């Protein structure tokens, strides 16, 4: 199990906590990662809003860098997941599109070959490692901790191309949470957007969407769990200003898993989270 780790934009600039906790957990479970040299922004759904053709070309360019290494790509960000996985499948399955994009890539002497896969870390944990093996690796199971998981749109949708899980009734992240001994709860609008994509267009609206979900989550759970830098920043950010009452901590999934695996709080960089999450330790 060896992957080229695709960091994207937001994680290296703003969320070392997600990067560090992911690497610690992957290492503990025997998944090897190497940084993908040369890669940049995945193309973001934003580039697709400008030019469909350019967005595909940028995604294909990033993918070609991993193809050169002969490694599948692992992403931590739902945005990168949507863009890279979708583009990878579209280009593999549509020869005409592939030809068009490869004409653009020839400008820099590269080619999309269609030889690798793109996988979200959550899928790697679920498929390559497996829930059973994770459960066996858990040294300090949580007891009685209620978790509100937030999948995030682009882990699941568009399902036609991402084929991650049942888009209306996904279970992968819930099962991974349950494997730590914690309990993933049901809550209203569980699969709805966090509001992040429109942050730069209408901050107030974007924030209100996150706040709405965090308020619901607080009612049903002790902690929120995400597996995307944008969703994480939304749920922490919306609780920092204009938030009334008790905050609900937000953890990156590998932070939750890492604690159950017996890794240290600070090694998982949970101390870097803006909302104090130390109360989860009481459930170990």
Partner 1 sequence: MAESVSVIRFEDVDPEFKRRVMAIPGADKLTYCFQCGTCTAACPIGRRVEEFRPRIIARMAILGLKKPLLAGELLWLCAGCYACQERCPQQVKPTDVIAALRNIAVQEGLIHPSLKMKTELIAKHGRLYEITEFENMMREEVNLPPVPEVKVDELRSLMRRVGLDKLIGIELGSGEG
Query: Which stretches of the chain bind partner 1, using CB under 8 A?
Result: 7-10, 12-14, 16-17, 19-20, 23, 35-41, 44-54, 57-58, 61, 65, 97, 104-105, 107-108, 110, 153-154, 157-159, 167-168, 192-193, 195-198, 200-202, 205, 208-209, 267, 269, 272
Task: Please tell me whether residue 226 adopts helix, strand or coil conformation.
Answer: strand
Q: Which residue, 56 or 182, is less far from partner 1 as judged by CB?
A: 56
Interatomic CA distance for residues 228 and 8, integer angstroms: 11
Interatomic CA distance for residues 40 and 139, integer angstroms: 37
Question: From the CB of 259, what's the least distance to partner 1, in Å?
Answer: 16
Q: Which residue, 38 or 144, is less far from partner 1 as judged by CB?
A: 38
Q: Which residue, 116 or 179, is less far from partner 1 as judged by CB?
A: 116
Question: From the CB of 174, what's the least distance to partner 1, in Å?
Answer: 19
Question: From the CB of 195, what's the least distance to partner 1, in Å?
Answer: 7
Question: From the CB of 249, what's the least distance to partner 1, in Å?
Answer: 19
Residue at token pair 């997600």 = 18
Question: From the CB of 99, what's the least distance to partner 1, in Å?
Answer: 14
Q: How many CB atoms lie within 10 A of CB 208?
A: 13
Interatomic CA distance for residues 81 and 87, integer angstroms: 10
Q: Which residue, 145 or 228, is less far from partner 1 as judged by CB?
A: 228
Interatomic CA distance for residues 68 and 261, integer angstroms: 34
Token readout for 51 is 């030019």
Q: Which residue, 29 or 179, is less far from partner 1 as judged by CB?
A: 29
Strands of 183-184's sheet in order across = 183-184, 146-150, 223-226, 250-252
Question: From the CB of 196, what's the least distance to partner 1, in Å?
Answer: 8
Let me know: does 195 contact 207? Beta carbons within 8 Å: yes
Q: Which residue, 32 or 35, is less far from partner 1 as judged by CB?
A: 35
Question: From the CB of 128, what's the least distance to partner 1, in Å?
Answer: 22
Residue at token pair 């040294």 = 139
Please give the angle made by the CA atoms of 192, 273 and 16, to the nearest 5 degrees. 95
- Burial grade of 45 (CB within 10 A; 0-12, 13-18, 19 or more): middle
Q: Which residue, 76 or 182, is less far from partner 1 as judged by CB?
A: 76
């Amino acid at each position: 199990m060896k992957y080229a780790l695709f960091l994207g934009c937001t994680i290296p600039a703003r969320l070392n906590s997600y990067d560090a906790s992911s690497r610690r957990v992957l290492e503990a479970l025997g998944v090897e990662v190497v940084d993908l040299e040369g890669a940049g922004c995945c193309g973001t759904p934003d580039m697709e809003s400008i030019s469909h053709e350019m967005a595909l070309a940028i995604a294909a360019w990033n993918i070609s860098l991993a193809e050169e290494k002969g490694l599948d790509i692992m992403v931590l960000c739902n945005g990168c997941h949507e863009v890279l996985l979708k583009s990878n499948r579209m280009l593999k399955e549509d020869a005409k599109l592939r030809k068009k994009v490869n004409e653009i890539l020839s400008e820099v002497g590269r080619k999309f070959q269609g030889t690798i896969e793109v996988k979200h870390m959550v899928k790697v944990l679920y498929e390559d490692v497996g829930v059973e093996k994770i459960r066996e690796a858990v040294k300090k199971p949580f007891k009685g901790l209620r978790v509100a998981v937030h999948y995030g749109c682009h882990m699941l949708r568009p399902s036609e191309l991402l084929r991650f899980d049942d888009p209306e009734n996904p279970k992968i992240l819930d099962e991974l949470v349950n494997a730590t001994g914690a309990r993933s709860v049901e809550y209203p609008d569980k699969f709805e957007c966090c509001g992040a994509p429109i942050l730069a267009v209408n901050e107030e609206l974007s924030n209100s969407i996150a706040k709405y979900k965090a308020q619901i989550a607080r009612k049903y759970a002790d902690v929120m769990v995400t597996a995307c830098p944008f969703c994480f920043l939304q749920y922490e950010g919306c609780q920092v200003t204009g938030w009334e009452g008790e905050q609900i901590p937000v953890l990156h999934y590998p932070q939750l898993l890492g604690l159950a695996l017996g890794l240290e709080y600070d090694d998982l960089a949970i101390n870097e989270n803006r909302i104090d999450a130390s109360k989860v330790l009481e459930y170990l």
